[in-house]
């Protein structure tokens, strides 16, 4: 599932990072300047959930990078666990799940004197913590795209043609992608999944629709779902 997308992401990263599946890799700083401040005191509920679409989308983008640099080597690319550490997609997207999440994020986990998970709290800070949380909780559930993959392939082909100058009804495609995106569920119970259908819909909305990038996102998402 969706592995291709993250493999592509990871191709840009050092092979060394991939090989080290333990707690001795320096945490990678996360640039959170674009996100609203949430104060000094540690919160126990995700402040970026339900803060409006722009903040939410920004948190996902920053969390995507933060997660894939700091957490993926143990918890799996795209939050799909390979078994080394728990699959975080199913941590409930409400206060109970958040409280558990933030405790682990801040303190890490040590068993019999061995660090199984490093503590990230002081190093990455609260804004990065909740951005990563937002990314995690918006992952689509396993197989969530399956019912739509045929139609999404057709849309992908059409968008690729439109990128080359072919005519097409942008509004209708955007509406259809949005509708498909609305049916895709998260594993965490968060109401909206950050799926390739949603990403493609956003890429072709507005004054400067990017058909090529929307087609590319769908290609990546569909090949990952094979
Ligand atoms: C070196 C490997 C490693 C890294 C890196 C790592 N974790 Fe973990 N994480 C683990 C292990 C192992 C556990 C299971 C600990 C336990 O048994 O409770 C865990 C548990 C968790 C849990 C509790 C999950 C549950 O279902 O109980 C959360 C939340 C979590 N990690 C978040 C993160 C986040 C966010 C990052 C990145 C900022 C991260 N982890 C990076 C190894 C890692």
Structural contact between residues 190 and 138, judged by C-beta atoms closer than 8 angstroms: yes
> Rounded to a whole number, what is the largest CA-CA distance in the chain?
64
Instruction: Give residue 1 CA to ligand 1 midpoint distance, Å.
Output: 21
Rg of the chain over all Cα atoms, to the nearest angstrom:
18
Instruction: Give residue 99 CA to ligand 1 midpoint distance, Å.
Output: 14
Residue 110 has what pLDDT? Answer: 95
Residue 66 burial by Cβ neighbours in a 10 Å radius (0-12, 13-18, 19+): buried
Residue 222 has what pLDDT? Answer: 85
Residue 23 CA, closest ligand 1 atom number: 1
Confirm or reject: Cβ of 130 under 6 Å from ligand 1: no
Nearest protein Cα to ligand 1, atom 27: 86
Residue 225 has what pLDDT? Answer: 60
Residue 119 has what pLDDT? Answer: 96
End-to-end CA distance of the chain: 7
Q: Give pLDDT tens digits along the chain (226 positions).
A: 344 444 333 433 333 344 344 445 688 889 999 999 999 899 999 999 977 888 999 999 999 999 999 999 999 988 999 899 999 999 999 999 999 999 999 999 999 999 999 999 999 999 999 999 999 999 999 889 899 999 999 999 999 999 999 999 999 999 999 999 999 999 999 999 999 999 999 999 989 999 999 999 999 888 766 5
Structural contact between residues 218 and 159, judged by C-beta atoms closer than 8 angstroms: yes
Instruction: Give residue 105 CA to ligand 1 midpoint distance, Å.
Output: 7
Nearest protein Cα to ligand 1, atom 29: 101
- Determine how many CB atoms are found less than 10 A away from the CB of residue 18: 12
């Amino acid at each position: 599932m969706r592995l291709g997308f993250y493999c592509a992401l990871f191709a840009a990263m050092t092979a060394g990072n991939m090989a080290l599946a333990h707690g001795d890799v320096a945490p990678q700083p996360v640039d959170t300047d674009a996100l609203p401040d949430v104060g000094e005191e540690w919160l126990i509920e995700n402040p970026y959930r339900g803060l409006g679409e722009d903040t939410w989308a920004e948190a996902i983008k920053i969390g995507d990078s933060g997660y894939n640099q700091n957490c993926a080597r143990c918890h799996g690319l795209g939050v799909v666990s390979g078994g080394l550490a728990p699959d975080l997609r199913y941590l409930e997207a409400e206060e109970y799940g958040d409280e558990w999440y933030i405790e682990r994020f801040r303190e890490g986990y040590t068993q019999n004197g061995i660090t199984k998970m490093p503590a990230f709290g002081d190093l990455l800070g609260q804004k990065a913590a909740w951005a990563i949380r937002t990314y995690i909780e918006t992952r689509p559930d396993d197989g969530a795209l399956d019912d739509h993959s045929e139609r999404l392939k057709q849309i992908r082909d059409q968008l690729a043609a439109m990128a080359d100058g072919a005519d097409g009804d942008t509004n209708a495609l955007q509406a259809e992608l949005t509708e498909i995106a609305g049916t895709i569920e998260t594993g965490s119970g968060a109401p909206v999944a950050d799926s390739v259908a949603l990403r493609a819909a956003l890429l072709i909305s507005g004054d400067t629709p990017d058909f090529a990038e929307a087609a590319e996102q769908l290609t990546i998402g569909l090949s990952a779902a094979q």
